Amino acid sequence: MSLESDIESLVKSVGLELYDTSIVSEFGDTIYRVAVVSPEFEDGKRKGVTLDECVDLTHLISPLLDVTPPVSGDYRLEVGSPGLERKLTTLDHFEKSVNENIAFTTAEQDKIKAKLIEVDGSKLTFEDEHEKFEIDFNDIKKAKTYFEWK
């Protein structure tokens, strides 16, 4: 099994879902980030992940990384939520973002903001103030969720 699938198993064991893993460099430090989301919904919105859940998960993942480090050299492990506004790079990210506002750029450079209503295979259904429309996942160049203050 790969490191990511091992981490995914640990994440599931505490009742959460793996959103993404990434290796980033900030201020000269290498950081291995594990982003998780709750599988539960409340009032139509995905529940948040608590700090305690992140701490518990850090204690589970850390020994695994001692045996199978994600990078060579020194690094820091960060476990947390991907946040309200996050990049969407995979079809799974879109599936986990149904009923959220998405800002995206198409392959034709059109910039669109709409609510993601449904994911069916690679077909994404959106709704804006005027209409419902479909776009194929492969026709999206760049996307992220966005929060609208009311």
For the chain, domains (ranges, CATH) are 3-80 (3.30.300.70), 91-145 (2.30.30.100)
Cα distance from N-terminal residue to C-terminal residue, the chain: 45
What pLDDT is attached to residue 65?
94
From first to last of the 150 residues of the chain, give the pLDDT tens digit. Answer: 689 999 999 999 999 999 999 999 999 999 999 999 998 888 777 888 999 999 999 999 999 999 999 989 999 999 999 988 899 999 999 998 988 999 999 988 889 999 999 999 999 999 998 999 999 999 999 999 998 877
What pLDDT is attached to residue 41?
81
97 close to 90: Cβ distance less than 8 angstroms: no
β-pairing verdict for 123-127 and 132-136: antiparallel
Beta bridge partners of 30: 25
Give CA–CA dist 3/69, Å, rounded: 9
Report pTM: 0.79
Give CA–CA dist 97/35, Å, rounded: 14
What pLDDT is attached to residue 84?
82
Give CA–CA dist 9/2, Å, rounded: 11
Exposure b/e, 11-27, CB count within 10 A at least 16 = b: beeeebbbbbbeeeeee
Query: H or E stretch including 111?
Result: strand 111-120
Residue found under tokens 């990210």: 93
